[in-house]
Structure 1
Amino acid sequence: MSGNLSSNDAPVLNWANTDIDKEVALGAVDWDALLQYAQATRQKMEKSEVPFTCQLSVENNKGGRNLVRRLHFQDGACWLVRIQLDDPTPESIQRLEQEVHTMSVVRERSEIPVPEVYAYEANYDNVFGAPFMLMEFLPGDTIMDSFGGYQVHKGKIPENFTPDFHATLADIQVQMSAIRFPQIGGIVKDSNGTYCVGPLPGIGGPFDSPAQFLEAWADHPKFPYSEKTIRERTPPQLVDEILDNIVLASQYYVIDWEDSFILPWEMVEFAKDLCMLPPALDGPLYHEDETDRKRLADRENYINLVRAAEEARGLDHHLSVTLANSTVQNFAHAMWLYQIDGRIGFYNDVINSVLGR
């Protein structure tokens, strides 16, 4: 039986799940083997002759494709194990490997707080029985789990918290935009420690131009809902995904890089809490309201924060110019709304607005 750490000894986090056996998506996994793997990894890292022991937290948390639990060592160190819940595919293996490499290059080439990855297994063919990652534990809840959790705030950031959050987020996005590669695709770390661009999971590549990428991308996305579902469902609610990716502690840590790739500037957009429905997507039904006007003001303020961060770091203004281009922003967000959110609308009109600029 694997060892579990009593919740009395754990940091106070908004992790409500305490019965790991009810997590059907995990399938048959070996928690004892995972503990032994973590202990061996730590001993090798520390070059210690004395073996380490660790226990799993009772609590777990889940979001998107992954589930996480804490690993507490006898000397007080704490790690996080992040476990993939999706069925294995060549794309999921590639996505996990590229995420690890992305986190590595961001840690090396920026000041963005990113957790260190100690070890990972991208295949199901491992001692634990599912793909996983052992990584640095950053004490704090994600922003989505903070402020009472989603049931309290419904995905809306408290007003008094927004200015500080957006200022920090602007600096993070500026630093990310400064990590540039000559091609479009996924980040791959070679055995010699250098980085290059590889294919995008499910799309291919790498690509030498935005046109090549968009042509390949257009062959793959499928609208996520059937006609029957579209006719029956209620209107979609857009929730800011980035709130699940940032931990709120003494500083903001970006913890989830699973869907981070090298993409053309035409796909760079605001964080989801600042994105807006492209007017052309609603066609004659579009009507600007007070919420839209406030969002536009917030976007303008964010662009100013980005410009200030670019100036402070001695960088060019490519990011702020891209964010200020409403045509580019409408196009980028429409791509997300089609493939991820499943928003119904006049996508041809969005494309025509780009072609006519």
Structure 2
Amino acid sequence: MSFNPSSSSDDSQPETDIAALTSTMHIGSIANLARNSYSRVIKETVPCMVNSKYIVGTDHIVWPIYFEDGAQWIIRIPQRDCSPLLEKNLQANIDVMNFIGAHTMIPLPRIYGYSTNVDNPLGRPYVFMQLMPGKLLWERWFDPEWFIERRRRTIFRSLAEYLCQLNRFELPALGTIQIDPISQVLSVGPILPTPESVDEEHASGTANKGPYFSVTKYFHNELTPKIKNEEDEILKADLISLRMFIRILVDPALDGPPFVLQRPDLHLQNILVDVEGNITGLIDWDGVCLSSPRQNGYAGYPSWITRDWDPL
């Protein structure tokens, strides 16, 4: 897998915050924790090396980890400080990722260990994941020598075959997916606000929303408090107009259940392929714990093949 070490894809995150976080992360502590986690998996101790060149993503900082027996992991550490809401979001996403990994052949990263709180040697939440094989698609897609028709078709076929495996799971409502640990039956609870939106949503009284049994109802409830709290009259008028068009925008045949699982963030940098274009890994499953309308779920087109959405 290719990395862009010590680089950031999120200009909104101050460099001082990144520096402060990474300065508290000791490579030796990460290595000890990874070694102990791996020993619980294979029942023996294998030395490892942590790459000191970290990768900065939108919400996480990542360190690659290499074991002497050839196993390769990453550790993902959230940039945001720990909070009860962050703990719930992390656990919900981990549960759904593990469920998808156990019930499909989709090549998503296997989770080897995690902590959703600060009660661990690192003092921050973390997740150990498999480092997926292959090369990032964005490194292949614009290479005219590699990107021939046969490989283009292989990419689309491979991606469609994997994502279609999510069609076997249906949900009764829009909300946070809950999984019974014994029966593995899926149910849906209220929508957890993201850590980024929690202050806004608590201020507007929209925290812990749902579950919703209608897409129209969901959009209506999303827009109403925003209209109420918007001070700019022009923006408020735009939001009111948008609310008026909800019933036109939503296909009545797709307004209610069943709802479906989300797909991962299908950005070119989150898809890994082999030399022939077969998908070897789909990464960045953040937000997969929320159920989705059918028209916006696993069957949605990636933005990089819809030129009307992404003309450049």
Conserved? CA contact 1:188–1:196, under 8 Å: yes
- CA-based RMSD of the aligned residues comes to 3.7
Conserved? CA contact 1:56–1:70, under 8 Å: yes
Q: Percent identical across equivalent pairs?
A: 21
Aligned AA (2:135): D
Q: Give the C-alpha shift of residue 118 in structure 1.
A: 0.9
Distance in 2 (alpha carbons) for counterparts of 1:129 and 1:86? 13
Paired position in structure 2 for 1:40: 36
> Given the superposition, is the C-alpha separation of residues 248 and 59 from structure 1 closer, same or farther in structure 2, using an over 3 Å criterion?
farther
Paired position in structure 1 for 2:160: 170
Paired position in structure 1 for 2:6: 17
| 2:178 alignment partner, SS class | strand
Paired position in structure 2 for 1:258: 286
Conserved? CA contact 2:63–2:75, under 8 Å: yes
| 1:259 alignment partner, SS class | coil
Which string of whole-angstrom CA distances, capped at 9 and with x for unpartnered residues, describes residues 298-336 of structure 1? xxxxxxxxxxxxxxxxxxxxxxxxxxxxxxxxxxxxxxx
User: Which residue of the other structure, out of 183, 187, 212, is the alignment partner of 1:196?
Assistant: 187
User: Which residue of the other structure, out of 140, 146, 158, is the alignment partner of 1:147?
Assistant: 140
Q: Give the C-alpha shift of residue 133 in structure 1.
A: 0.8
> Given the superposition, is the C-alpha separation of residues 90 and 275 from structure 1 closer, same or farther in structure 2, using an over 3 Å criterion?
farther
Aligned AA (1:206): P
Q: Does 1:180 align with 2:170?
A: yes
User: Which residue of the other structure, out of 246, 270, 273, is the alignment partner of 2:301?
Assistant: 270
Paired position in structure 2 for 1:81: 75
Q: TM-score, normalised by structure 2?
A: 0.65
> Given the superposition, is the C-alpha separation of residues 22 and 200 from structure 1 closer, same or farther in structure 2, using an over 3 Å criterion?
closer
Q: Give the C-alpha shift of residue 176 in structure 1.
A: 2.2
Conserved? CA contact 1:30–1:129, under 8 Å: no
> Given the superposition, is the C-alpha separation of residues 57 and 220 from structure 1 closer, same or farther in structure 2, using an over 3 Å criterion?
farther
Q: Does 1:209 align with 2:202?
A: no
**Structure of greater relative contact order (alpha carbons < 8 Å, 6+ residues apart):** 2
Aligned AA (1:255): I
Which has the larger displacement, 202-211 or 113-122? Answer: 202-211
Q: TM-score, normalised by structure 1?
A: 0.58
> Given the superposition, is the C-alpha separation of residues 83 and 172 from structure 1 closer, same or farther in structure 2, using an over 3 Å criterion?
same
Paired position in structure 2 for 1:337: none
Conserved? CA contact 1:142–1:246, under 8 Å: yes
Aligned AA (2:21): L
Q: Give the C-alpha shift of residue 267 in structure 1.
A: 3.1
Paired position in structure 2 for 1:244: 269
Q: Give the C-alpha shift of residue 189 in structure 1.
A: 3.1
Q: Give the C-alpha shift of residue 117 in structure 1.
A: 0.4
Q: Give the C-alpha shift of residue 62 in structure 1.
A: 2.7
Aligned AA (2:153): P
Mapping 1:1-357, distance limit 5 Å? 13-17=2-6, 23-24=18-19, 26-27=21-22, 28-48=24-44, 51-144=45-138, 146-147=139-140, 153=142, 158=147, 160=149, 161-192=151-182, 194=184, 195-202=186-193, 204-219=209-224, 242-249=267-274, 251-252=278-279, 253-260=281-288, 261-268=290-297, 269-275=300-306
Paired position in structure 1 for 2:198: none
Conserved? CA contact 1:39–1:52, under 8 Å: yes
Q: Give the C-alpha shift of residue 241 in structure 1.
A: 5.4
Q: Structure 1 unaligned segments of length 5 or more: list them.
A: 1-10, 231-239, 279-290, 296-357
> Given the superposition, is the C-alpha separation of residues 99 and 111 from structure 1 closer, same or farther in structure 2, using an over 3 Å criterion?
same
The answer to which structure has the higher helix fraction is 1
Conserved? CA contact 2:37–2:113, under 8 Å: yes
| 2:49 alignment partner, SS class | strand
| 1:58 alignment partner, SS class | coil
Q: Structure 2 unaligned segments of length 5 or more: list them.
A: 8-15, 194-207, 236-264
Conserved? CA contact 2:270–2:282, under 8 Å: yes
Which string of whole-angstrom CA distances, capped at 9 and with x for unpartnered residues, describes residues 140-185 of structure 1? 33323x239xxxx59xx95645332222222233222332222222
> Given the superposition, is the C-alpha separation of residues 249 and 82 from structure 1 closer, same or farther in structure 2, using an over 3 Å criterion?
farther
